[in-house]
């Protein structure tokens, strides 16, 4: 009997569990072939989408396009909000942690965490010490095996910096779009740089602020999961320095893409 494998999916700002599920259909289908069930919690903070971009300077901006969300009247949510008079400072309400604690108990344990935008920012913070932050025992939630961030960023508030200073042992894949105008490249790279060199990979796609759903791109992400899960930690540590660098370059080069693709397309 196969062991059930679960992935925690954290949606972006002005999204919801349903919206994020719809926008990651290709990824969900292909991870399903690898034996993973994707679980989509919904952030507890409701957002008035009509109230967004109401200032004179912001008028004309399209929330659905900018946040890769729904243009319909679907309810939308967020994990946290900016502090007043601050562009990049956030405070996460304790009820978010309590909600995710209960969600893990009811739907986990989880093998990995995948997030988009604000959800990836939250996920990147959580995986620095997942069990401690969510008050979970090792029996309730064994060690995570991977983390994937789509347009994720490092939380910049001083209250959270101590967590990033620890040696993060969970392998991570950080994905950014070359045309992303919502999350600056510097913020994405700050999260990427929080990981040790042998535990991080950066993948760049030519699009904007969204989770790419093309067959080729989804195959690369899923094959990275296979490489990561199948590679023993000790084997990774023993890789020659030149080979390790393939995983650390700002973009995946042709040699690494060929290696990932050689595992077989999904």
Torsion (CA) 208, 213, 215, 218 in degrees, nearest 10? 90
How far is Cα 111 from Cα 170, in angstroms, rounded to an integer?
11
Q: Which helix (H) or strand (E) holds 177?
A: strand 172-177
CA proximity to 146, closest of 240, 60, 36? 36
Q: Are strands 76-78 and 90-91 parallel, antiparallel or unpaired?
A: unpaired
86 is catalytic: no
The answer to whether residues 180 and 151 touch, using CB atoms and an 8 Å cutoff, is yes
Active-site residue, from 111, 174, 180, 205:
180
How far is Cα 38 from Cα 16, in angstroms, rounded to an integer?
14
The answer to whether residues 50 and 75 touch, using CB atoms and an 8 Å cutoff, is no
At 218, is the secondary structure helix, strand, or coil?
Answer: helix
Residues in the chain: 266
The answer to whether residues 110 and 140 touch, using CB atoms and an 8 Å cutoff, is no
172 is catalytic: no
Residue 46: φ, ψ to 5°: -75, 145
209 is catalytic: yes
Q: Which two tokens stand for residue 249?
A: 């370059």
How far is Cα 160 from Cα 98, in angstroms, rounded to an integer?
17
Active-site residue, from 70, 117, 163, 219:
117
How far is Cα 47 from Cα 104, in angstroms, rounded to an integer?
24
Query: Residues with catalytic annotation?
Result: 117, 180, 209
């Amino acid at each position: 009997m196969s062991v059930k494998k679960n992935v925690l999916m954290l949606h972006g700002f002005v999204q919801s569990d349903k919206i994020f599920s719809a926008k990651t259909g290709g990824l969900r289908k292909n991870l399903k072939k690898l034996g993973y069930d994707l679980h989509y919690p919904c952030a507890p903070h409701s957002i008035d989408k009509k109230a967004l971009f109401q200032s004179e300077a912001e008028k004309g901006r399209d929330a659905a396009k900018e946040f890769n969300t729904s243009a319909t009247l679907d309810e939308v949510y967020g994990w946290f909000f900016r502090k007043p008079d601050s562009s990049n400072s956030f405070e996460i309400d304790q009820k978010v942690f309590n909600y995710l604690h209960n969600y893990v108990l009811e739907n986990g344990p989880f093998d990995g965490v995948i997030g988009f935008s604000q959800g990836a920012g939250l996920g990147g913070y959580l995986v620095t010490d997942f069990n401690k932050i969510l008050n979970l025992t090792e029996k309730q939630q064994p060690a995570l095996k991977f983390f994937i961030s789509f347009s994720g960023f490092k939380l910049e508030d001083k209250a959270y910096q101590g967590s990033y200073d620890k040696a993060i042992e969970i392998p991570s894949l950080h994905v950014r779009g070359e045309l992303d105008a919502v999350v600056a490249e510097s913020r994405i790279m700050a999260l990427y740089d929080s990981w040790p060199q042998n535990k991080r990979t950066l993948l760049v796609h030519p699009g904007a602020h969204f989770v790419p759903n093309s067959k080729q791109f989804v195959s690369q992400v899923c094959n990275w999961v296979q490489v990561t899960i199948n590679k023993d930690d000790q084997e990774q540590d023993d890789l020659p320095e030149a080979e390790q660098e393939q995983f650390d370059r700002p973009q995946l080069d042709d040699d690494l893409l060929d290696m990932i693709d050689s595992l077989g397309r999904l």
